[in-house]
């Protein structure tokens, strides 16, 4: 494996919201003179050597994806960060690599290195007439980074991004690497394990814990993805009255009597954006319907502001700057007016609809998971707190995601409503977030926070959010890593969250 020691002693995230002091940044790459499998296995050995050096020198180590997170998940103060983005090889899976016990379609499997970006995965699958099952609005994250922070998806009857992952190849120490999958859902054959020269571990609890693990379970080198046949999405963005009918859909996801673009057909994707400064004119409602793939469709086109049908508020709110409170309603309304274009019946594949890899402006983003039964109560509270603590320089966006199987996945409710709060980078925005989290706790409303977006998490708050799942996650980490590796893969954010415990 190529290892280039850049000598960088600081690192800034993609959103330019913090700078961290580090010991060095290593840029990694596959060897050009080896075939794909041998290069992959060579990279495994390279990772093991880096872990060995880290243990010997007592230097913390952290893998870096695309740097998309607002939190210091990928950073390690005075440690070494590993830029894994160039490690982006993908392997089509043959029948020989699949276990006889696998119940899915082997043609739908793809094994990718951790640095493969979501958009790259989509392009690779498209060549095979396949598609990812879901994705977030942004597609610039690496696959390991997206699952490691529990990035939520777009299909409320499927789940989050990590829920289409069925296997993980993890380098857990200088002398050990494992291929981890659920015992209840075996996928790979002995031949696959032999090709990777690894150790097969089939354990539901370990796998579910490792899915969302913030880079603290070792170095995820490879990810087994379960895709599906290529499909189209039929997309609509309309303004609808923010009335009892819409509120009922948001709180129940029951569309049996809905008056949506396709009547009462259950959408693939459903999202509501509520502008608190223009509520009387209705909410912005996005609905997308799954359709069989047929050639000859007109792909989606960005509007004049460069915003596509699958882009979320983060794609345009960053163009705002903090203004005096009296001007907030005017400025927010103007930005929405110039950024959002209503549309009907736009077609595109998942990768074409949810394709954003561009960051516009310096912004903050928080995402809060709540059970759908609390949606309307929370919406009312948000409108009220905006009057007392705000004004918030942004909008309130509601997306819906099915419960994840990941132990610490923040979309943990049966159906999770994700309240997204995107706003310009400012102290006022941070203060608004703080007051929202306090408000939810004061009202005894269950909620979680997106691990990779702005949050104020600490052990007591995390325990309230996840209950026994916290101890299960910590136990899984201790089971997978030895004492030396636990130290190497611990960073300040893990310590802040109280997830760094070493069990006897």
Each residue of 435-447: pLDDT tens digit? 999 999 999 999 9
Q: Higher confidence at residue 388 or residue 359?
A: 388
What is the structure's pLDDT at 12?
Answer: 92
Residues in the chain: 504
Fold of 2-229+471-497: 3.30.465
| The pairing of beta strand 415-424 with beta strand 396-402 | antiparallel
Residue 220: closest CA among 84, 408, 103: 84
Q: Which two tokens stand for residue 242?
A: 């923010």
Going by pLDDT thresholds of 50, 70 and 90, the confidence category of residue 315 is low
3-class SS letters over 83-151: ECCCCCCEEECCHHHECCCCCCCHHHEEEEECCCEHHHHHHHHHCCCEECCCCCCECCCEHHHHHHCCC
Q: What is the pLDDT of residues 82-93, one digit of tens each?
A: 999 999 999 999
pLDDT score of 258 more than 80: yes
Query: Can you state the percent helix, strand and coil of the chain, rounding each to 5?
Result: 30, 25, 40
CA 31 → CA 47, 173, 192, 203, distances in Å? 13, 22, 21, 32
pLDDT (mean) for 291-300: 95
pLDDT (mean) for 173-202: 98
CB 195 within 8 A of CB 35: no
Domain 233-456 in this protein, CATH class: alpha beta
**Residue 439 has what DSSP assignment?**
H
* Least confident range of 44-48, 137-141, 290-294: 137-141
CB 366 within 8 A of CB 437: no
What is the structure's pLDDT at 333?
Answer: 86
pLDDT score of 360 more than 70: no
How far is CA 132 from its chain centroid? 14
Q: What is the pTM of this model?
A: 0.95
What is the structure's pLDDT at 302?
Answer: 79
For residues 132 and 312, what is the distance between their CA atoms, to the nearest angstrom? 19
CB 61 within 8 A of CB 82: yes
Domains of the chain, by residue range, sit at 2-229+471-497, 233-456
CB 419 within 8 A of CB 386: no
pLDDT score of 172 more than 70: yes
């Amino acid at each position: 494996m190529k290892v280039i020691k850049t000598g960088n002693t600081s690192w800034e995230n993609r959103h330019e919201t913090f700078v961290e002091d580090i010991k060095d940044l290593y840029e990694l790459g596959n060897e050009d003179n080896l075939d794909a499998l041998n290069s992959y296995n060579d990279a495994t050995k390279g990772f093991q050597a880096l872990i060995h050096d880290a243990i010997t020198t007592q230097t913390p180590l952290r893998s870096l994806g695309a740097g998309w997170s607002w939190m210091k998940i990928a950073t390690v103060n005075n440690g070494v960060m590993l830029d894994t983005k160039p490690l982006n090889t993908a392997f089509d899976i043959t029948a020989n690599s699949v276990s006889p016990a696998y119940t899915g379609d082997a043609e739908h499997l793809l094994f990718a290195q951790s640095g493969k970006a979501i958009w790259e995965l989509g392009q690779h699958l498209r060549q095979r007439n396949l598609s990812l099952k879901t994705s977030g609005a942004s597609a610039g994250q690496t696959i390991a980074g997206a699952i490691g922070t529990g990035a939520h998806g777009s299909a409320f009857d499927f789940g989050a991004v990590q829920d289409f992952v069925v296997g993980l190849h993890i380098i857990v120490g200088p002398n050990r690497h494992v291929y981890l999958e659920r015992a209840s859902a075996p996928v790979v054959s002995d031949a696959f394990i032999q090709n990777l020269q690894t150790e097969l571990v089939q354990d539901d609890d370990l796998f579910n814990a490792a899915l969302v693990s913030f880079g603290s379970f070792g170095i995820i080198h490879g990810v087994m993805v379960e895709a599906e046949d290529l499909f189209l999405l039929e997309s609509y963005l309309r303004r609808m009255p923010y009335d009892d009918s819409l509120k009922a859909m948001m709180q129940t996801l029951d569309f049996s009597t809905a008056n949506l673009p396709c009547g009462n057909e259950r959408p693939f994707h459903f999202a509501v954006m509520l502008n608190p400064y223009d509520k009387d004119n209705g909410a912005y409602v996005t609905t997308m319907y799954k359709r069989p793939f047929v050639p000859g469709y007109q792909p989606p086109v960005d509007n004049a502001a460069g915003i596509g049908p699958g882009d979320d508020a983060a794609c345009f709110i960053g163009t705002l700057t903090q203004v005096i409170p009296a001007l907030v309603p005017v400025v927010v309304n103007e930005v929405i007016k110039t950024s959002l274009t209503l549309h009907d019946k736009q077609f595109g594949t998942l990768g074409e609809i949810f394709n954003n890899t561009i960051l516009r402006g310096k912004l903050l983003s928080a995402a809060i998971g709540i059970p759908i039964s609390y949606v309307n109560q929370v919406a009312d509270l948000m409108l009220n707190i905006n009057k007392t603590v705000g004004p918030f320089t942004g909008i309130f966006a509601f997306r819906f995601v099915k419960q994840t199987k990941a132990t610490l996945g923040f979309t943990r409710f049966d159906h999770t409503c994700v309240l997204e709060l995107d706003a310009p980078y400012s102290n006022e925005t941070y203060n608004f977030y703080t007051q929202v989290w306090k408000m939810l706790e004061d009202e005894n409303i269950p909620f979680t926070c997106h691990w990779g977006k702005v949050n104020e998490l600490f052990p007591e708050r995390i325990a309230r959010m996840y209950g026994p799942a916290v101890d299960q996650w910590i136990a899984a980490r201790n089971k997978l890593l030895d004492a030396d590796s636990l130290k190497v893969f611990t960073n300040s954010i893990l310590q802040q969250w109280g997830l760094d415990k070493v069990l006897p």
